Amino acid sequence: MLVPIVGIAAGQDVSLTLRPHCNSDIFGIEHIGGSVPFNDEYEMGEDGCPNFVVEDPETIKTDMLEVGDELDFDISISNPNLQSVDSVRVWLSYDPVILEGININVSDSFPAVTPGESDFDTENGYVMIEARNDTENSNEDDTIKVARVRFLVKETSSAGTPISFYDPQDGGHTSISSNINEVETYILSDPLGSLHVVFSNNDLDEEDEGGTTEEDNEESENNDDVEGDNDVDALFEEDGEELDGDNNEEQQEEESNEENDNNQQEEENEGSEEDNSNQRTPFSLLQVRNIRITTEGSSLYIGWDSINHSSVKAYNIYYGTTSGRYIQRKTVNGSMDSLIIRSLPINTTYFVAVRAVSDDDEESAFSQEASVTIGDSNTSTAQLITNPGPNGVNPLQNEYNVPGETGLPSKIALFVFLSAIIGTVVALRRQSAYATCKK
C-alpha cells in the first residue's frame, strides 16, 4: 500500500508518488532500494517494494545522504480504482546546485515518449517527463511505474533540499489523463506531496569519534597514577628496601610529564569542542531587506536590497505556496539584486524570502516574507524599479528641470534674449527711417 501523502479529490482518485527504486516480480523481490541504502524504517508496500518514510502529511523523506551518494527513485501512479491511464506528464523541481541529474528511464508502460520530455533542465532545475500509451484499456493496474530518476549529490545543506511536483493542474506541467468516451479527461488528485532529501554531517561525527574526551583523559591519568603506585609497592616487596632519592626524583619527573601531557590534551580537546559549537559568525545575523515582488502573466519578479558586506558571494531565493515553508530555491550571484521565475501556475499565491550566502557558505537570516498571487498584479508588494527621475528618465543621461531650481528655464531665457535682439533691430530700423524722412 502506498504512503498516503496526497489528498484525494472527488472524481479524481489517481495520485503520483515517489518511491525508492525497486524491481520486483511475482516470484519475490529481485532488488530493493537501487542505489539508496535500504532503511529499516521503510514501510513495505503490497507490491513488495518499500516506501519512503513519512515526515508529515504532505512530505516524505530520504535516508541521510552524503556528497557523492546517488539518489535513485521511481515515479509511480497510485490507481486504486483501476482506471485506464493513457497519458502522463510529470515535472519535478529540484535544486541544481545540490543535485545533479544522472539519468531518466521512462517505463515501458508509456512507450510513446514526447521528444525532449525525458530530460533534465539543469539550468532551472526541472525533471521533464511526458509519455503516452495509446493501447485501448492500457495501464489499469493499481500501481503503475512512470519512470526511474537518478541524481548525484554534489553538495549538502543542513536544511536538506526538496524535490516536488511542479505545476500540477489540468493542462499544466504535471497531469494524468484517461481516455473516457474518447475524451481526454484529467484524473490527477490534488494536492501532491514532496520528497525531502536530507543529508548527514559525517565530518563533525568523525571529529567527535576521533577525539578523546575530558573524561577519557582523566581516567587515563588516574590509571597512570595507580600503575605508578603499584610499581613502587612491588619494588618495596621485592627488595625490602626504600627507593633512594634519585629514583624518587625520576619517578616524580615522569609523573609530572605525564600530567602535563594530559593537561595539554584536555586543552586541545576543549578548544576543538569550542570550535565545533561556535561555527556561526556575525554574518548569520545579517538580513536582506526591502523585498519587492510583483507578477506579470505566469512570471514572478523578485527584487531586494543588496547586503553591503565584502564576503557576500550569492543569494538564495526561497519560495513556496505555504507561508513560512519554502520547498523551492533559486541561487543567484552576489552581484545580483533581482530574479525572474517563469512558468508558475496562475492564480496561485507564492511566498518568498531571501538569504545571503557568504564565501564560507554560511547563510544570513531570512528576510521578511513577501507574497503575491501569480497573474494578479494588484497583489504586488511594490514596483521593482525605483523612480530614477521624473517620468522614469535617468538624470545622468537626459535633461530635466529640477524642482526648486532658481532662474528662468533655458528655453524661456533664450526666447527673451532673441526677442530683445529683434526688438533692438526693429527700433534701430525705425529710427533710421525716421531720420531719412526728416531730411
Q: pLDDT confidence of 105, banded at 50, 70, 90? A: very high
List CB contacts of 185: < 8 A, sequence separation 6 or more: 177, 178, 179
Q: pLDDT confidence of 286, banded at 50, 70, 90? A: confident
Strands 70-78 and 87-93: unpaired
pLDDT at 403 over 50: no
Which segments within 87-227 are labelled E, that is strand? 87-93, 99-106, 112-121, 126-132, 143-153, 161-165, 175-180, 183-186, 194-199
How confident is the model at residue 254, as a pLDDT? 59
Percentage of residues of the chain with pLDDT beyond 90: 25
Tens of pLDDT, residue by residue over 188-224, are 886 678 899 999 876 435 434 444 444 444 444 444 4
Alpha helices, DSSP H, located in 156-244:
202-210, 214-239
How confident is the model at residue 337, as a pLDDT? 92
Tens of pLDDT, residue by residue over 2-58, are 444 443 333 467 888 899 988 754 333 344 444 444 455 556 666 667 888 888 888
How confident is the model at residue 243, as a pLDDT? 42
**What average pLDDT does the structure give for the chain?**
75
CB 18 within 8 A of CB 6: no
Written as nine digits, the cell of 110 is 508509456
Selected residue with higher pLDDT from 15 and 280:
15
Give the mean model confidence (pLDDT) for residues 400-412. 55
Residue by residue, DSSP assigns 44-75 as EPTTS-EEPEEEETTEEEEEEE-TT-EEEEEE
How confident is the model at residue 99, as a pLDDT? 94
What is the Cα–Cα distance from 74 to 154, expressed in whole angstroms? 20
- 0.75 surpassed by pTM: no
What is the Cα–Cα distance from 134 to 115, expressed in whole angstroms? 16
CB 140 within 8 A of CB 84: yes
pLDDT at 303 over 90: yes
